[in-house]
């Protein structure tokens, strides 16, 4: 699929996925995720979102997964969750995502879905980070952290 879909595009798009205009501004803080995860279990990702502008507004908080170590070609990142929230000026909310094993899996060379050990980058924000890891659209920052999937031979999703 290289060169045929945006999922492998390494440039900086004019309007990245999640781009939109707002009458307010959102700030992201306190990205919380585990350091290591069991490949057969769900895990939590949390982030605090604050309306830093002067008007009430809605934000679509997006969670992206990027496999940094995979035995097969994988997309640069994939959207694995989103939540729409409404915040008044100065108001904050903690947004939580539950990430399931299938959301961090890959299709191996035999087309079986597996959760491979290795590093996974989790990004949460008002848009997606670009291929070089720059923040997303001006409506909100993107916070990124890394989790390590523990080795567990023979486990599949």
pLDDT in tens, 125-141: 988 775 444 444 444 58
153 CB burial (10 A radius; 0-12, 13-18, 19+): exposed
Task: Starting at the earlier edge strand, list the strands of the sheet with 36-37.
Answer: 36-37, 142-149, 118-125, 57-67, 78-87
pTM above 0.85, yes or no: no
Architecture of domain 23-149: Sandwich (2.60)
Q: Where are the domains of the chain?
A: 23-149
pLDDT at 71 over 60: yes
Most confident of 43-47, 107-111, 131-135: 43-47
pLDDT at 22 over 90: no
| Higher pLDDT among residues 48 and 16, named by residue | 48
Given this model, what pLDDT does residue 136 score?
47
Residues in the chain: 157
Site of tokens 């350091």: 35
């Amino acid at each position: 699929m290289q060169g045929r879909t945006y999922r492998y595009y390494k440039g900086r798009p004019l309007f990245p996925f999640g781009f939109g205009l707002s009458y307010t501004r959102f700030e992201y803080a306190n990205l919380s995720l585990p350091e290591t995860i069991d490949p057969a279990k769900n895990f939590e990702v949390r982030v605090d979102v604050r309306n830093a502008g002067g008007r009430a507004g809605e934000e679509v908080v997006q969670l992206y997964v990027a496999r940094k170590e995979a035995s097969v070609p994988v997309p640069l990142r994939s959207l694995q969750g989103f939540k729409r929230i409404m915040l008044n000026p100065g108001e904050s909310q903690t947004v939580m995502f539950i990430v399931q094993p299938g959301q961090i899996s890959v299709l191996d060379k035999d087309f079986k879905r597996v959760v491979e050990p290795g590093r996974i980058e989790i990004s949460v924000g008002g848009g997606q980070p670009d291929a070089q890891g720059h923040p997303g659209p001006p409506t909100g920052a993107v916070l990124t952290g890394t989790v390590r999937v523990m080795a567990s031979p023979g486990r599949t999703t």
